[in-house]
Amino acid sequence: MRILYNLLNKLEKSLKKKNSSLIAFAFGSVIYTSDTGGYITAELKIGDLNVINKIISGEIRGLSPEIKISKWECSICNKNFEECPHEEGKLYNNKICKTIAKGIEFTGLSLVDHPEDPRCRITDLLLIKEKAGKRKYEWYGFKVNNENDRFRNIQHALENGLIPQDVAFSFSKFFSIKLEGKASYPDSHGKIG
């Protein structure tokens, strides 16, 4: 991992000398619900090479959501939990009482080294390098919570205009064979596909 960090430090210096640019987009799960296992996927645009270095090296990949909850609801009576007679965790007519967050407002996201929920982390990083009008794409695939997450992230990048169709196809093909790793387009030999 230290080798990648050193390589990117050299890359930063060479980008400054040449007329080049680098931008990154990180994808990861940020909020999990206990009942359904569902989650919200975040996309972060990153222009700071130091942060990109830390993500690639594994130093920082955790995500910490900042949310505001305006109301808690009872799972038994669907009323405001503070005003209902039920107690969380107790059994009522064969149903366990739970508090349900309602009126959730997503207010921000922080990169952290150790997230409270280990599933909330960056799973994919897209680097877009441009030099003399030519683009090179690199996709870093880290550990995922579900193997379909990576393909959803690649599809999301395609749908939002971050990568063209041929790049999405190439990355999907690579990650259908190898679940984690780094894919480049064009590859290191200048080949496409």
Q: State phi, psi for 165 to the nearest 5 degrees.
A: -55, -45
Q: What is the mean pLDDT of residues 157-179?
A: 93
Which of 3, 21, 30, 18 lies closest to 117 in space, CA to CA?
Answer: 30
What pLDDT, on the 0 to 100 scale, is given for residue 80? Answer: 92
One-character DSSP codes across the chain? -HHHHHHHHHHHHHHHHTTEEEEEEEEEEEEE-TTT--EEEEEEEE--HHHHHHHHHTS--EEEEEEEEEEEEETTT-SBTTTSS--TT-EETTEE--EEEEEEEEEEEEEESS-SSTT-BEEEEEEEEEETTEEEEEEEE---SSHHHHHHHHHHHHHTTSS-HHHHHHHHHHHHH-SSEEEEES-TTS---
Greater pLDDT, 84 or 187:
84
- The pLDDT mean for the chain works out to 83
pLDDT-above-90 percentage for the chain: 51
Q: State phi, psi for 59 to the nearest 5 degrees.
A: -65, -40
- Residue positions counted in the chain: 193
Confidence bin at 89 (pLDDT 50/70/90): very high
The C-alpha atoms of residue 51 and residue 7 are separated, in whole angstroms, by: 14
Greater pLDDT, 5 or 79:
79
Confidence bin at 34 (pLDDT 50/70/90): low
What pLDDT, on the 0 to 100 scale, is given for residue 188? Answer: 53
Confidence bin at 33 (pLDDT 50/70/90): low
Q: Are 120 and 65 in contact (CB under 8 A)?
A: yes
| The one-letter amino acid at 91 | L
User: What is the per-residue pLDDT across 93-130, written as a single tens digit (0 to 9) for each?
Assistant: 999 999 988 887 878 888 999 998 888 899 999 999 99
The domain spans of the chain are 2-65+110-185
What pLDDT, on the 0 to 100 scale, is given for residue 24? Answer: 95
What pLDDT, on the 0 to 100 scale, is given for residue 144? Answer: 85
Greater pLDDT, 2 or 17:
17
**155 token code pair:** 């599809």
Q: What is the mean pLDDT of residues 43-53?
A: 91
User: What is the per-residue pLDDT across 145-155, written as a single tens digit (0 to 9) for each?
Assistant: 777 889 999 99
User: What is the per-residue pLDDT across 54-68, written as a single tens digit (0 to 9) for each?
Assistant: 999 999 999 998 888
